[in-house]
Amino acid sequence: MSSVTGRRVGIFGLFAGGNLGNEATLAATLYGLSQSDHDCQVTLISQQPDAPSGLPGTARRWSHDPLPVAPLLDNFRPVRLRNTVRALLENLTHPLRRLLLRRRCRELDLLLVAGTGIADDFGQEPHQVPLHLLYWCQAASATGVPIRFVSVGAGPVASDVSRARFRAAFALAGYRSYRDAASREFVRSLGIDVSRDQVMPDLVFGLFDQVSDLAKAVHWPPRTIAIGVMAYSGWNAERTTALHNYTDYVTRLTELTHSILTRGYNVRLIVGNRVRDLATLNEIAGRVKKMQPSLCNRLYAASAHTYLDALRDIGGCDLVVATRFHSVVFGLLLGRPCISLGYATKNDALMAAFDLAEYCQTAAEFDPAWVLTCIDKMISVQPPPMASIATKSLCLASAVELQFADIVRG
């Protein structure tokens, strides 16, 4: 093990694919580590580390899988046998993969699993993140490299195979913390002793001092409302159901956007994933334009390329209505009152921490009229909620800073 300074840290996470919240998580992790260890040497371990993205820079980038076989089967026929062949090839190559991962772990002093919803099955098959996370944890354990899970999200997971792999990975960690109580309870349900594990803030709150200048002064009552869109189609729904879910969500969000505009507010549509959400944003903007073209001079569609772009977009608004978890985090981080239309319990837990639990509905069932009522109610609250939100965000930022200091000392 190296000294307290100059540690070689591998950061494992969901940092590719255009998710701006996850990219902000990486930025917060890099900042937190640098504050506690100025000479820290970081290696990013992600799905597609070399893909063009807005990811913050790191000295090295490694793939989750050092020996990927799935791309070799893209043109394999018959398609129905593709997963069977993939599983066979992965089993055959497992000894070599284990050797390669152990060699890489010998170049590390710490394996850090940093934030994000690392342990759920939203869009993840058992042979993807659940398997790769386990491989890295096993390799780190075998080479004496400490493993720490920091402010991670966990659950739900339907697959028994994925649950078993997550259970084995979490069991190897010497330190675990979770971004909400539901995540800790999920890990407990896997059979892990979580009595010493803590619930800690989402790591993005660690950016509080770094992004404060991105927020303009809040106008209250609000003049501009941010509506955070998502290509939402349900939690791993089958194709027909997913299409129905998406269409229904877009229809209700379009109605909400139109209603907010007709009330005289400006609206800024924002994305939480620069790849997946852009088509949804354009579809909603196009529908509103067809409904009432005269409103479009107060409708702005923001296509963020980086997490800083997203923060600037939100910082130019006075109130946030959003589906994605980190779009809500961004709003609260910048002291903006938020209304959550979430697709998982993580949104509800976050809002409750800011005493905003009454302003939550689900993406699958939210009522546009209810959102309008919430806006009216929030405006009537005295004193306005901005000061309490900013104070809470600052407290969470301090907790994130202390956690990184403990990680480096440990």
pLDDT at 174 over 60: yes
**Average pLDDT value for residue range 32-38:** 87
pLDDT for 85: 78
Closest CA to 1 of 142, 110, 114, 148: 110
58 — pLDDT class (breaks 50, 70, 90):
low
pLDDT for 125: 86
pLDDT for 3: 46
Residues in a beta bridge with 32: none
pLDDT for 50: 61
Tell me the residue type at 113.
V
Residues in a beta bridge with 375: none
1 — pLDDT class (breaks 50, 70, 90):
very low
**Average pLDDT value for residue range 74-88:** 76
| Cα–Cα distance for residue pair 54/34, rounded to 1 Å | 20
User: Which residues 6+ apart lie within 8 Å of 244 measured at CB?
Assistant: none
The least confident of 27-41, 46-60, 324-338, 379-393 is: 46-60
Q: Output the 3-class SS for 246-269.
A: HHHHHHHHHHHHHHHHHCCCEEEE
pLDDT for 311: 97
Burial of 312 (0-12, 13-18, 19+ CB in 10 A): middle
Chain centre distance of CA 12: 14
Q: What sections of 198-344 are H helices per DSSP? A: 208-211, 239-262, 278-291, 307-315, 325-333
The least confident of 114-128, 179-193, 257-271 is: 114-128
The least confident of 32-36, 87-91, 299-303, 403-407 is: 87-91
82 — pLDDT class (breaks 50, 70, 90):
confident
**Residue 63, SS3?**
strand
pLDDT for 350: 97
Whole-model pTM above 0.85?
Answer: yes
Average pLDDT score, the chain: 92
φ, ψ at 385 (rounded to 5°) = -80, -5
Share of the chain above pLDDT 70, in %: 95
Closest CA to 148 of 110, 185, 180, 201: 110
pLDDT for 51: 57
Could you give the C-alpha distances from 332 to 172, 180, 212, 321, in angstroms and in order?
34, 16, 11, 11
Q: What is the dihedral of CA 156, 158, 160, 161, to 10 degrees?
A: -80
